[in-house]
Amino acid sequence: MRQPAAPQDIRRDLVGLLPKMRRFALTLTRNAGDADDLVQETCERAIAKSHLWDGKGRLESWIYAMLRNLWVDEVRKRRVRVGSGTVDAADHSELSIDAAAESSVYAQQMNSMIMSMPEGLSSVFVLVSIEGHSYKETADILGIPIGTVMSRLSTARLRLAAMVTKDGGRKA
């Protein structure tokens, strides 16, 4: 059994995970401000709870699970306070990507398509297809069975392919 990671190690590793954390947070929150707040809260919690990280598995998976759990808690709080606690996906159109103009436009279109899918589908798609997590890791992060991950990923891919074909005559 490895020693728990030192807080300075977690801080260092968190810096490299920030872009990935933000992308995942955007799939959950559908709002850039909420995503940034969620990432910050996750970093604070990870540093404060670094003594609980046992070094097994990927730190990234531990962080993603923490981020998701914090968002679930926030949604519950918001439902009690004001209502649904989410922003319509159609109102969200943000993911900054440094690329050539055409690639950037295409990436923005793809991001909008991904964000237009329900949160359960977009989260699974981002974790598996973009972030490269295994089905098992994704299941653990989201707290769902592996079969649900496979089903949601298949549905997300089919929906995305249909949207791409409809929007530009391109095949996915």
Say how far apart CA 115 and CA 118 lie, in whole Å.
8
Say how far apart CA 133 and CA 117 lie, in whole Å.
19
Alpha helix locations (H) across 30-118?
A: 32-48, 59-81, 101-116
Instruction: Let me know the angle formed at the C-alpha of 129 by 126 and 133, rounded to the nearest 5 degrees.
Output: 85
Say how far apart CA 103 and CA 145 lie, in whole Å.
35
Give mean pLDDT, residues 44-69: 88
Pick the CATH number of 1-88 from 1.10.1740.10, 3.30.420.240, 3.40.1010.20, 1.25.40.80: 1.10.1740.10
Lowest mean pLDDT among 15-19, 51-55, 150-154, 155-159: 51-55
**Where does the pLDDT of residue 171 fall: very low under 50, low under 70, confident under 90, or very high at 90 and above?**
very low
What CATH number labels 99-172? 1.10.10.10
Say how far apart CA 116 and CA 4 lie, in whole Å.
39
- pLDDT 10s digits, 130-147: 888 999 999 999 999 999
156 has pLDDT over 90:
yes
Give mean pLDDT, residues 73-82: 78
- pLDDT for 100: 58
- What token pair was written down for 45? 């919690």
- pLDDT 10s digits, 78-128: 877 654 444 444 444 444 444 455 666 777 788 888 889 998 999 999 999
Alpha-carbon distances, residue 80 vs 16, 26, 115, 152 (angstroms) = 35, 22, 25, 28
pTM: 0.60
- pLDDT for 4: 56
- pLDDT 10s digits, 8-39: 778 888 999 999 999 999 999 988 999 999 99
The answer to whether 160 touches 114, Cβ cutoff 8 Å, is yes
**Which value, to the nearest 10 degrees, does the dihedral of the CA atoms of residues 67, 70, 75, 80 take?**
180
Residue spans of the domains in the chain: they are: 1-88, 99-172
